[in-house]
Amino acid sequence: MDSRSLLSLTVALLSVLSPCLTRLTPRVSFPMGSPGRRLTLFSSPDVSNTTTLLLSEDGGMLYVGARDAVLALDVRHKDVMFLRSKLDWSPSEKDLEQCSMKGKKKADCPNFIRVLQFLNTSHLYTCGTFAFSPRCTYINSETLAMSLNTDEGRGRCPYDPYQRNTAVIVDGELYTATVADYRGNRPIISRHLSESSRVDLKLDDTLGWLEDPTFISSTFIPHEEKIYFFFSEVAREYNFIDKFIVSRVSQICISDVGGQRTLQRRWTTFAKAQLLCQAGSELPYNVIQDVDILPPAEGAPADDTLFYGIFTSQWAVNSGRSAVCSFRLADIKSVFSGNYKVLNRDTLQWSARVQEKVANPGECGLHNASDNALRFVKENFLAEDSVRPVGKRLTMVSAEHTYSHLTVQRVQGANRRLYTVLFLLTEAGFLHKAVLLPLGAHIIEEVQVFEPPQPVKSLKLSVPKGMVYVGTAEGVVRVPTFNCSYYWTCAQCVLSRDPFCGWDPVSRACVEVSGTQSSLAQDIDGGNVEDVCSSVSLTHKTRFGPNKLPAAPCPAGELVSVSLNEVVRLQCPAASQLSQQQWERPNSRLSSDLYLELEDGSLSFVATPATLGHYLCLSTENGYRQIIAIYHVKQKSSPMTQSPTGHTRTTHTTQTAASSGPHTSVRSWPKTTEWRRTDTKLSVTNTQVTTRQLGTNLTLWTESELREAVFPAEESLLSPRCPHYLKELVVVSILLVLCLSLLITMSLCVLRQRYQRKTSPQAGPLPRDSNRETPEEEEALNGNEVFNKHSGSPLHGGQSSSLVCNGTLTDSRQHLPNTPI
């Protein structure tokens, strides 16, 4: 077997042995413009490519680097972001002409701001591509006034607006990772604006310290006095035919001033190591996309600092997947303090170190070391070990979404426990909010923030203001980190499993968790509604238990008037994207020969006497069952079966959990529907179709609202309103007696003629009695008289639910549904 076949077999075996991925479905989805998730957008016709973001320390001012401009946005107000000042900084016509002469597209020649950092308390330091001739300048942070003199931006800012770079300013000095030439072939990590006797430093271009890197992020660790850079590059230590990309973390010390003879004006503390986002024997997710830092919890050691990164894979078996891995600072330090590989300058091959260790690469203070020690660190800058993720496992992995950016926050729940919340930006334009749990990640919601495609984006989190800012090509979108008021019942609040939100039994509202509230109902780990919300519904259970229910009318629900042989469609909007919908009838079972369940959860059937009556749509999520909708289907021509509609209770909500458009709360019916069954006996040819939606908003029955719907007032309980068919039964009985009498009479006449042996012709065959009801009609007449029997599928845990005319709609566990129509 040749090496190529062996490699193919190895990849195939790894793909088979890899564990199955858990589908990560956002519980709630908010399309762009949805009223259920209020966003704030700043955009201007003369501003574009607002993708470089910088937040002030208090979160009240957002500085934006755009195309040919720098903006200062006031974001202190809750519902609006307004432009406080704007600085126009664009190339001249001559600069644009020279850029075009270099063969660049006209759209790429403006000045794209790529470096935007606080230099001190009064000024910003800004660099832009400036028509493929980078420039840098100083800007007053209050007035956005630009200094008259500009600096050359080579080595500080990329030439190409689509090349990724990173920069950070520490003590007035700029540390950057970018490319230092027009063609983008000279990657460089350098220091600029060095103060006092310090000199600017950079990597030696001839040493091969970087191999075609893509720079991602950089961060300063104060107690280490080091800056860490994150990037991906081609790995020369592996002998692969194709280019093998790996993710790296590198470090430099801010105290470095270069060597005295060896490595003059070069880094003496540069070292790099591989970041290995891999679980078990799976192929690694080897291409890093973004990184964010999570400081340690209060009282924890500084070495517990975590770095969360998004990784994708260059392997076809993992194509389209994204993984999140976290790395502890203590593990990174341990790898950098270990052994290093040695680079053979003649063969450009890496090997394990066999010579005596003269110095510790990456150690601060090596600028005072001997020439022998500096030559050692010059050739030994790649750590032998790889940095493995926390727990040696993936934090989360998604096969459905490709993530490009992330930011992370630590949140204290109502139980005083700390939870990690990730905000992840997808390539499709959605912002995912996920909480990390012991059993895996749970995506609380997704919010659409822009329309794809968006080649360059950015993400900033303001913890003091509780906002996430997304920089896009069209403008800046602000998304609140929590949306507690959207969950209008205790069950919905608990099922969301949002660490920011808890149910307040006093105000009966889902509110933000704060340190002063200790009685909020919340279960982030399990989402157990039965246990958490039991105290909220205890009073209701006591007053309205099954043994204490007064005689009451049947809940009419949504009234649907149809004609016989008409196709009826009853819609059942999902309570969330994690819930499962189910239809039930209180007095008969749903036969597959008569009913079709559509892909969107709705029910379709032909209106016949056997299919008239009540229908219940139920939703089950995480073991909790609730009623979404109640319909009463009646025949138009039967005035005696009209049900009162005054009991229909509608709660106006802002947005359904499964809405599919910005201005609608319930999915509209598609023109062509895919059926679940193709072998049905139901015929819909030449029939009229009636589609019945549950109003315009998804409304769930709460306990109090269902009680009001079933028991609107005491005086209304004196007169029963259950539909009855007494008059119809009397008429049918009389007709039946007449038919039987006529049949007996005719039979006696035939017998008499036979005995008399008449020779006259016999009468023709007796006509079929057309007035006799079919079994289905008799079942409909008898079944709809009293609405007190339930034959649907069993409840969770093997229990069954029931609906009684003299009570209210409950399950056998005596839990009233919490979702009104």
pLDDT single digits (tens) 170-190: 999 999 999 998 888 899 999
Pairing of strands 396-398, 245-253: unpaired
pLDDT at 5: 43
Contact 274, 386 (CB under 8 A): yes
* Lowest mean pLDDT segment, chosen from 111-120, 309-318, 425-434, 752-761: 752-761
Average confidence (pLDDT) over 529-537 = 80
Average confidence (pLDDT) over 219-226 = 96
Helix or strand or coil: residue 444?
strand
User: Who has greater pLDDT, 588 or 30?
Assistant: 30
Which pLDDT band, with edges at 50, 70 and 90, does 752 fall under? confident
pLDDT at 272: 96
Q: How far apart are CA 153 and CA 113, in angstroms?
A: 11
Q: How far apart are CA 72 and CA 69, in angstroms?
A: 10
Structure tokens at 196: 């006092």
Contact 243, 352 (CB under 8 A): no
User: Who has greater pLDDT, 283 or 498?
Assistant: 498
Average confidence (pLDDT) over 159-164 = 94
User: Who has greater pLDDT, 446 or 682?
Assistant: 446
Which pLDDT band, with edges at 50, 70 and 90, does 765 fall under? very low
pLDDT at 588: 73
pLDDT at 477: 96
pLDDT at 592: 87
Percent of the chain exceeding pLDDT 90 equals 57
DSSP 8-state symbol, 107? G
Contact 36, 30 (CB under 8 A): yes
Q: How far apart are CA 426 and CA 740, in angstroms?
A: 74
pLDDT at 355: 65
pLDDT at 757: 58
pLDDT at residue 549 tops 70: no
**Cross-strand bridge partners of residue 634:** 561
Contact 294, 420 (CB under 8 A): yes
**Number of neighbouring beta carbons within 10 Å of residue 303:** 16
Contact 581, 628 (CB under 8 A): yes
Q: 318-333, pLDDT tens digit by residue? A: 888 999 999 999 999 9
Contact 40, 477 (CB under 8 A): yes
* Helix (H) or strand (E) run with residue 313 in it: none
Angle, in degrees to the nearest 10, between helices 775-783 and 726-756:
150
Q: How far apart are CA 627 and CA 706, in angstroms?
A: 10
* Lowest mean pLDDT segment, chosen from 71-75, 144-148, 509-513, 549-553: 549-553
Structure tokens at 383: 């750590």
User: Where do the domains of the chain lie, and which CATH numbers do they carry?
Assistant: 163-399 (2.130.10.10), 483-536 (3.30.1680.10), 550-668+675-731+777-821 (2.60.40.10)
Query: What does the mean pLDDT of the chain come to?
Result: 79
Q: How far apart are the first and last CA of the chain?
A: 66
Average confidence (pLDDT) over 596-606 = 92
pLDDT at 315: 87
Pairing of strands 595-597, 603-606: antiparallel
Q: How far apart are CA 110 and CA 132, in angstroms?
A: 8
Contact 309, 323 (CB under 8 A): no
Structure tokens at 804: 């009684």
pLDDT at residue 580 tops 80: yes
Radius of gyration of the CA atoms of the chain, in A: 36
Percent of the chain exceeding pLDDT 70 equals 74
The CA-based dihedral angle spanning residues 512, 515, 521, 525, taken in that order and rounded to the nearest 10 degrees: 90
pLDDT at 808: 35
Which pLDDT band, with edges at 50, 70 and 90, does 586 fall under? confident
pLDDT at 206: 67
Contacts 24+ apart (CB under 8 A), 373-377: 374/259, 374/262, 374/263, 374/268, 375/262, 377/268, 377/271
Q: 297-315, pLDDT tens digit by residue? A: 999 999 999 999 999 999 8
Q: How far apart are CA 547 and CA 810, in angstroms?
A: 12
Nearest to 48 by CA among 457, 473, 477: 473
pLDDT at residue 684 tops 50: no
User: Who has greater pLDDT, 565 or 316?
Assistant: 565
* Lowest mean pLDDT segment, chosen from 62-71, 526-535, 647-656, 758-767: 647-656
pLDDT at 294: 98
Q: How far apart are CA 276 and CA 309, in angstroms?
A: 11
Pairing of strands 567-570, 689-692: parallel
User: Who has greater pLDDT, 40 or 519?
Assistant: 40
> For the whole model, what pTM was predicted?
0.76
Buried b (16+ CB within 10 A) or exposed e, 278-291: bbeebbbbbbbbbb
* Lowest mean pLDDT segment, chosen from 137-141, 268-272, 554-558, 607-611: 554-558
User: Who has greater pLDDT, 376 or 547?
Assistant: 376
pLDDT at 810: 35
